[in-house]
Amino acid sequence: MIHDPANPIKTRLKAAVCQFDIAAGDMDRNIETGLAAAENACKAGAQLVVLPELWSCGYDGEKIADHARKTPEITGFLAGLAKAYGAVIAGSLPEKANGCVYNTMYVINSSDGTAAAYRKIHLFPLLDEDKWFAPGRQSVVLDCHGIPAGCMICYDLRFAEMGVHLAAGGARMILVCAQWPAVRIDHWDALLMARAIENQIFMVAANRCAADADAGFNGHSRIIAPDGAILADAGQMPAHVCAELDFSVIDNLRTRFCPVAQRVPAAYPPA
């Protein structure tokens, strides 16, 4: 259901996206880097912090199930940060459950330290991701400081219908964590803007970067407004950037014209 402007919810939130390099399999280094990045963003006043995809271990193939065993400890560290700073912290980690491993975005709530979770639905074939992970089966819209937020992980961004579904489920922003390579970074830039504009929604997207800009990942972590304006851009090197999200912008846009509410899905059902 699209949010009803007559029933306003929280209107402002300071969000941050963090980007840094991820060393495949080097858990100690990655955890130290990721927690420091999240804490620096919290110290800058961020109420929402988004970290990259699989930030604790990277794509480490056959060792991914072993890395997943440490995830409960990592979410505990994040819960401590969230409580200390009154923030919500999101990012994807390997999750072991039901005899499978999932690429799961954990969203750690500041009020009680509990984690909501979204399991990546679309697994990336060029990385043989389906060899190491099971796919999620359910899209997720969750509460973030009283604001409905949808979740996407990397390759999910290419599926426009997923963004439509999240917006229809009431999401006012979509959180994205990724390891999107430099060779296709123009697609990342375009798709983030497209998902924002077509759904009249905020995009809060954290991507991996490398300390060496030629190492295959070059960031472009961004926060994008519902009209496609870039509110924050982290560039290509390790950094965090913040922006204030004013959710009244969504209602103002949709009052003037609202393609989100004027879709006719019966006329173009899934193939």
Buried b (16+ CB within 10 A) or exposed e, 241-253: bbbebebebbbeb
Express the helix, strand and coil content of the chain in percent, nearest 5 each.
35, 30, 40
The residue from 53, 129, 177, 242 that is catalytic is 53
Closest CA to 37 of 23, 55, 54: 55
In angstroms, the CA 138 to CA 234 distance is: 30
- DSSP single-letter state for residue 212: S
The verdict on whether 154 is a catalytic residue reads yes
Residue 120 annotated among the catalytic residues of the structure: yes
In angstroms, how far is the first alpha carbon of the chain from the final one? Answer: 23
Of 120, 129, 177, 242, catalytic:
120
Tokens, residue 31: 């955890």
CA distance 247 to 183: 33
Other residues' Cβ atoms within 10 Å of the Cβ of residue 165: 15
User: How far is residue 45's CA from residue 153's CA, in Å, rounded to a whole number?
Assistant: 25
Catalytic-role residue among 42, 57, 151, 154: 154
Q: Note if 53 is an active site residue.
A: yes
Question: What are the residue numbers of the active site?
Answer: 53, 120, 154
